[in-house]
Chain A
Amino acid sequence: NAGVTQTPKFQVLKTGQSMTLQCAQDMNHEYMSWYRQDPGMGLRLIHYSVGAGITDQGEVPNGYNVSRSTTEDFPLRLLSAAPSQTSVYFCASSYGRLAGYEQYFGPGTRLTVT
């Protein structure tokens, strides 16, 4: 199993550009989430999904869109990049309650917006 994969590893955008961060998991997990990590703030939830076709907003959703058309994939779209979106982005997936919600994380995407 590859686990949770994310592409790209690094990305530099100019203000106003759009892009999609890719996330895929091969563990048949129901739950998938996107977080951003900023120094001193831990991980903050952007969007999450509890199954194909179902998504919801997290703590910091503004400027980001998600969709979940398959169990495996959960892309994160930046609509119009801003310098405040410079961060490290992590995708995570997990089973539900019976597995204790244990999350598996991808390696991250480091995004810089200039």
Chain B
Amino acid sequence: DAKTTQPPSMDCAEGRAANLPCNHSTISGNEYVYWYRQIHSQGPQYIIHGLKNNETNEMASLIITEDRKSSTLILPHATLRDTAVYYCIVRVQRTSGSRLTFGEGTQLTVNP
């Protein structure tokens, strides 16, 4: 699976959009981009994933560049409860296996 690079930490004001970048310059054509987050002392929570098109769900939006070498997770109106470590993961589409390779992630702190 391709390696990802994320900033170690970011701050965001409550109510504002949080834009979390991820670099995955060695991504292959069949690798998906996944985002998970982990609130302290809990298990990671799935947020969103995509292959090449931009995706949106009730939690967030995922913007993938045309060359697929980077992506941005957007939380449109961050709240204090969005304070967490956010992990960007790229993953090969396999016919078997649910292995995720977690990096160090980005600690997002939402400030009041």
Mutual binders A and B: no
Residues of B near any A CB (own CB < 8 A):
none
